[in-house]
Structure 1
Amino acid sequence: DFPICIGSSVTRGLGAGADPEVGRQAIEEDCDKVSKQLQDSDLIFITAGMGGGTGTGAAPTVAEISHDQGALTVGIVTEPFVMEGSPRMKNARSGIAELKDQVDTLITIKNQRLLEVCGRDTTLQDAFLKADEVLMQATRGISDLITIPGMVNLDFNDVRTVISKGGDAIMGLGEHSGEERAVEAARKAINSPLLEDVSIAGAKGVLINIAGDSNLTLYEINEVMSLINEESGSDAEIIFGTVIDDSLAENIRVTVIATGFNVHKNNEAEPPAREQEEPTQQDVEADPLTIGSPVLLGNGNGGTSLDVPTYLRNGHSIPQEHQEHQEPVRPAVGDLDIPTFLRRKMNAS
């Protein structure tokens, strides 16, 4: 461990007072120390409790330093309890949105869900240990894929392929023994109550690690993969590995990391402007000329239609004295190809 005390002149050794701006100033004061400590790292995890001052304000800056150094950066953060109030929740969500812009992928764990998995008799200390355990599982679930050799091996580049999909991520870990142990472990992994209330459907990338004792069978691996393939959809890029771990006894442990949710689409091309269409016969019939007022007509492309009489194209109107003795005459659509002077003679006759 290499703890770094940040912002001593800003906080005088105290906390950030639930002010994210103070947390940001604190990390900026010692960003050189942080940058030096992160040098030459390939994979960096950033964990924080969002909603207060230090985690909310400092985590995005640490992620920016990590990302600038070219490290694969994973954020794993918690969202506060609803009972902590709307200002703290607002701070948390603002910090999470800012952090999301700086990491390769982000896993968010809602503390509120502790109430769903902990009984009424669960002590406060045990409840928070449960939340810390989920953070640890998320970190270990990724690091074990890289560091523990397996029968079907995964390495850092496999992890990078999935993590670099960007956006939000969900992580689940399931363990089960007995009959249907493979399917039940997989179901637990993709339905973790402490994670977002979403399925893995729509993920762009999925990492799967299947660990079991030496009795792990090919059929069981197929059961896990079939279930997760069905849940994630055909468009997800799925990479899996298997590890033989006799310490699991008769259990199978399945770790699933699904990424690529809610990816920003800032670079999408704007749709081309719709070209103005030339008027159809129906358009002409629906828009009769108004005699006695200036009219400007065109062919839809900026030019002037030569089928319209010159005095109308020039914006002139029929003198008032002529209007009193003349009924408005509108040429039929089929006559527009006849020269104007001939149409006048035909109308006169």
Structure 2
Amino acid sequence: MKVALIGFGNAGGKVADELLNYQQHTGRGLFRYMLAVNAARSDLARLDRISDDDQILIGQTDERVKGHGVGADPELGAEVTRRDRHEVERALDDVPVYEVDAFLVVAGLGGGTGSGGAPVLAESLRKMYDEPVYGLGILPSADEGGRASFNAARSLQSFVDATDNLLLFDNDAWRGYQDSVGDGYRRTNQELATRIGALLSAGNLDGTDVSENVMDASDIRRTLNTGGVSSIAYAEEGLERETENAQGLLAKFRGNGSNLDVDTAKKVSGVVRKAVQSRLTCPAEIESAERSLIVVSGPPAELSRKGLESARSWLEAQTNSIEVLAGDDPRKSADKLAAVVLLSNVTDVPRVDNLQDQAVDAADNIESQRETRDEEIENLIRDDDGALDPI
């Protein structure tokens, strides 16, 4: 799948940067266009792979911003995005529309620029182009505080409404207890890039073998056209020693009913089950998914049509849905067997429910503190008897 990639805000820019690193590292041509949008000049300066020519600083003429960010205020982020929208749209004139299958807008939902501005941009893109616009939203971890949860819960509603589908990644589920803040986010960004990259790679004709079980951009789009929010599962396994030493010899024996063929089918089915039963990008009850898609990638000798059929039947039973597509992605030089599973329009997502509860509590606290604060200020600056008049 060929994508126009837009990183919005600090977290969105860093994830987009890591997605480009994945592309460069794997040699897969996924992104036909890239852009980083931010209200903070310092955040743009920290990007390693998105060039200066592919960056836009918004809010420069706003006296509250002036290149220093929006101070975790999503309403200000949305406002400066609307004000500078035409500047962003001019940059989008360079998108090679006939070469892209979709737009992907990436943003962290706990801050200000991305949480407020990304939904505004996504809505504009849907009006301008016929291609679907997908979002990738990063939920904040609990240690980022109540304000981040409050912002994320509000942004989530807007981002879902503004996109054809919103892929979710939950930092809380992926941050390790031993991670420093910087190392933790770098590692989770890499994990996220691996999963998004593996999904988008399906069906790309980039020098690899053509899949026997063809999976292409239209299958991804069909799976995602449910709307709502989605989550991604991923797992990988090492190769068999025989595959590493003699892939060509193994291939000659495929399809003869041999034990080798049976073992390969079991391994393919097993890695798909392992993916679904491990951590999703955002934990969710898989039976709540409306549609699903399976892509298994690896050397041709490690792929199995029977294994895919078995995995698809198993996932149909788990999700209680026949809307499950499955295909493979042959990679002669691959050093592992990997499975990525897209679960589209999941409706039972405990993290989102908790986020909304936290946001409601935060909103009540904000209002209560505001009322108390106003009273305390009055008590501080005015004398008890009212004998003093202000100048």
TM-score by length of 1: 0.68
Partner of 1:135: 192
Match of 1:191 among 249, 272, 277: 277
Report whether the alignment pairs 1:232 with 2:323.
no
Match of 2:230 in 1: 169
**1:7 aligns with one of 49, 55, 59:** 59
Moved more, 167-176 or 36-45: 36-45
Look up the match of 2:152. 92
Residue 138 (structure 2) aligns with: 78
- Aligned to 1:225, the other structure's residue is in SS state helix
Note the 1:306-321 alignment, pairs <5 A. Answer: none
Which protein shows a greater Rg? 1
Distance in 2 separating the partners of 1:90 and 1:192: 28
1:184, CA displacement in angstroms? 3.5
Moved more, 89-98 or 199-208: 199-208
Describe the superposition over 1:9-29 as per-residue Cα deviations: whole angstroms up to 9, x where unpaired: 121111111101111122112
Distance 1:125 1:102, change over 3 A: same
Q: Distance in 1 between matches of 2:85 and 2:299?
A: 45
Match of 2:220 among 125, 144, 159: 159
- For 1:80, the aligned partner's letter is P
Q: Find the aligned partners of 2:173 and 2:316 in 1 and give their Cα distance.
A: 27
Residue 257 (structure 1) aligned to one of 342, 355, 360: 342
Aligned match of 1:314? none
Kindly indicate whether the alpha-carbon contact (under 8 Å) linking 1:74 and 1:103 is maintained by their aligned counterparts in 2. Answer: yes
Where does structure 1 lack aligned partners over 5 or more consecutive residues? 264-349
- Could you tell me which amino acid in structure 2 is paired with residue 222 of structure 1? E
The question of whether the paired residues in 1 share the 8 Å contact of 2:141 and 2:170 is answered with yes
Deviation for aligned residue 1:34:
2.4
1:26 aligns with 80
Corresponding residue of 1:300: none
1:1-349 equivalences in 2 (<5 Å): 1=34, 2-10=54-62, 11-38=65-92, 40=97, 41-68=100-127, 69-115=129-175, 118=176, 120=178, 122-148=179-205, 149-177=210-238, 181-215=267-301, 216-233=303-320, 235-249=321-335, 251-262=336-347
Q: Which runs of 5+ in 2 are unaligned?
A: 1-33, 35-53, 241-262, 349-391
In structure 2, the residue matched to 1:308 is: none
1:214-270 deviation per Cα after TM superposition (whole angstroms, max 9, x unaligned):
21233322332232222222x342222212112223x3211111112349xxxxxxx
Give SS of 2:236's match. Answer: strand
8 Å CA contact 1:176–1:184 kept in 2: the answer is no
The alpha-carbon deviation at position 209 of structure 1 amounts to 0.9
Specify the SS of the correspondent of 1:172. Answer: strand
Q: 1:111: how far off?
A: 1.0
Aligned residue type for 2:59: G
1:270-315 deviation digits (Å, cap 9, x = unpaired): xxxxxxxxxxxxxxxxxxxxxxxxxxxxxxxxxxxxxxxxxxxxxx
Q: Which amino acid aligns with 1:109?
A: F
Q: Whole-Å Cα distance in 2 between the matches of residues 227 and 125 of structure 1?
A: 39
Greater RCO structure (CA 8 Å; 6+ sep): 2
One-letter code aligned to 1:58: G
| Closer, same or farther: CA 119–219 of 1 in aligned 2, 3 Å | farther
Change (3 A) 1:252 1:224: farther
CA distance in 2, matches of 1:33, 1:105: 25
Amino acid at match of 1:188: K
Query: Match of 1:76, SS?
Result: strand
- How far apart are the structure 1 equivalents of 2:346 and 2:283? 13
Instruction: Let me know the Cα RMSD of the aligned residues.
Output: 2.2
What is the letter of the counterpart of residue 57 of structure 1?
G
Distance 1:214 1:155, change over 3 A: closer
Q: Which structure's residues are more often helix, by fraction? A: 2
Whole-angstrom CA distance in 1 between matches of 2:172 and 2:124? 30
Letter in 2 for 1:226: S
Shift of 1:150: 2.3
The 3-state SS of whatever aligns with 1:13 is coil
Are 2:213 and 2:305, in contact at CA under 8 Å, matched by a contact in 1? Answer: no
User: Structure 1 pair 217/158, CA: closer, same or farther in 2 (3 Å)?
Assistant: closer
Contact 2:192-2:281 within 8 A present in 1 as well? no
Deviation of 1:197 after TM superposition, in Å, equals 2.6
Equivalent AA in structure 1 for residue 318 of structure 2: E
Post-superposition offset of 1:6: 1.4
Q: Please tell me the residue identity of whatever aligns with 1:256.
A: V
- Contact residue 203 and residue 236 of structure 1 kept, 8 A: no
Amino acid at match of 2:61: S
TM-score (norm 2): 0.61
Q: Aligned partners of 2:88, 2:281: CA distance in 1, in Å?
A: 29
What is the letter of the counterpart of residue 196 of structure 2? T
